[in-house]
Structure 1
């Protein structure tokens, strides 16, 4: 993925947040035969991972394990957040072309195959992760009958843990546009037109707020440095006068 400093998303915490909010990912492998294989599965973050780590837990069906040659080589995991079309008609009267705003992360790592017992625990954790939001969650092991059923079907899946060794993430949210243009884009995304997208509008606001906080932090640091430099000069002048 082509990178651009204006849209770079390099904070581990932000990438972890993206995974939590958009856990339906694309798994991509290049096989020994040179074929590209892609599958789609939900993932969760390993709670045992360190603060600066990204470790994924998931499973695939047995056929996909064979197609991906799971565990034999590196895998690419693509996380796709909110995205949408941005019309040049939302800008101003000057010549312009359309664009697409999006946030995505490309994660790389080699899957570690889990034992059947570990796989069953991961499946239960996956179910809990999504069922927790319901008023009456249906647990994988909620009843003895369901637990027995889950224990039988687990043989058809292969669990894995993927420790991300490197990633590239991009958060393209019109950061290169004037504030008034961003406001017009947000109004359209919040509206009821054919390209309305409240989720994308919310993501754009987060990107704008994050940029403002970063700018304020840099300004504060610059003022602090200038103040220290001024104090140092005054101190040197005082010593010279003595």
Structure 2
């Protein structure tokens, strides 16, 4: 991703929060046949690693494990949180260049292939994770025999993330009053409404203001700031 110093997200806890909130991920492999990309739900593995680590579990449908050459090399897993267009209509008149705000994490690691039993456990946790919001959650335990037979068409993976590159680009280079207008616009009913992005901005700026209060006034965006710091 583009190197934008004050948009960098380096806190492991924040990256874990993004993954937990946005589990639909893109898995990218550089194979002998070229680049391969697939899309699957990915969860944090609560049975491995500590709070200062990122360990992922997921599955792929056969024959994706062959296409990705899983276990033979590093893969890139991309998580995309809330994102959306930011119109200059929400800026002062002299600021007329729009931007796109987003929260994104790129995670790298080499997949470990799970046993059939562990894969079935992970699949069960995946179903339970999403079903918990339903009025009457459905579990794979309804018919384990059938579920296990279907599970044979999948390959479970665990990825211990060795490095990540994450961004929270949420108008940190704008004055507080401009940020408030952007949040209001995103939470409104206009063509570029995105309440989730508005909430993410509100959260990020509340933390930013609290964290800076003891350090003095907020740093403002300057017209001569480096290009990497601009929208």
Q: Same fold (TM over 0.5)?
A: yes
2:42 aligned with 1:43: yes
**Are residues 1:156 and 2:156 paired?**
no
1:118 CA drift (Å):
0.7
Structure 1 segments of 4+ aligned residues over 2 angstroms from their partners: 216-219
Deviation at 1:186, TM superposition (A): 1.2
Residue number in structure 2 paired with 1:178: 175
Which position in structure 1 is the counterpart of 2:228? none
The alpha-carbon deviation at position 61 of structure 1 amounts to: 0.6
When normalised by structure 1's length, the TM-score is 0.86
Q: Secondary structure at the match of 1:181?
A: helix
Moved more, 163-172 or 183-192: 183-192
Counterpart in 1 of 2:107?
107
- The aligned runs of 1:206-221 (5 Å cut-off) are 206-218=203-215
Say yes or no: does 1:94 pair with 2:97: no
| 2:73 matched residue in structure 1 | 73
Q: Equivalents in 2 of 1:135, 1:128: separation in Å?
A: 13
Structure 1 residue 217 displacement after superposition:
5.0
TM-score by length of 2: 0.90
Q: Which ranges of structure 2 fall in alignment gaps of 5 or more residues? A: 217-231
Distance 2:16 2:130 in 1: 17
Aligned residues: 215
Shift of 1:19: 0.6
Q: 1:218 deviation in Å?
A: 4.2
Per-residue displacement from partner, 1:166-212 (whole Å, max 9, x unpaired)?
Answer: 00000000010011111111111111110011101000001101211
1:96 CA drift (Å): 2.1
**CA shift at 1:3, angstroms?**
2.3
**Conserved? CA contact 1:3–1:170, under 8 Å:** no
Query: Could you say which residue in structure 1 is the equivalent of 2:56?
Result: 56
1:108/1:164 contact within 8 Å kept? yes
Q: What are the superposed Cα offsets for residues 217-236 of structure 1, whole Å, 9 maximum, x if unpaired?
A: 545xxxxxxxxxxxxxxxxx
Which whole-Å deviations, capped at 9, do the CAs of 1:69-114 have from their partners, x for residues lacking one? 1111000000000000011121011142110000000000000000
Distance 1:66 1:97, change over 3 A: same
Q: Does the alignment pair 1:205 with 2:193? A: no
- The structure richer in helix per residue is 1
Which stretch of the first structure deviates more once superposed, 162-171 or 47-56?
Answer: 47-56
* Corresponding residue for residue 129 of structure 2: 129
Indicate the RMSD between aligned Cα atoms, in angstroms. 1.1
| Partner in structure 1 of residue 29 of structure 2 | 29
Q: Distance in 2 between matches of 1:19 and 1:135?
A: 24
Secondary structure at the residue paired with 1:85? strand
Residue 148 of structure 1: how far off its partner (Å): 0.9
Aligned partner of 1:168 in structure 2 is 165
The change in CA–CA distance for 1:217 and 1:105 in structure 2 (over 3 A counts) is farther
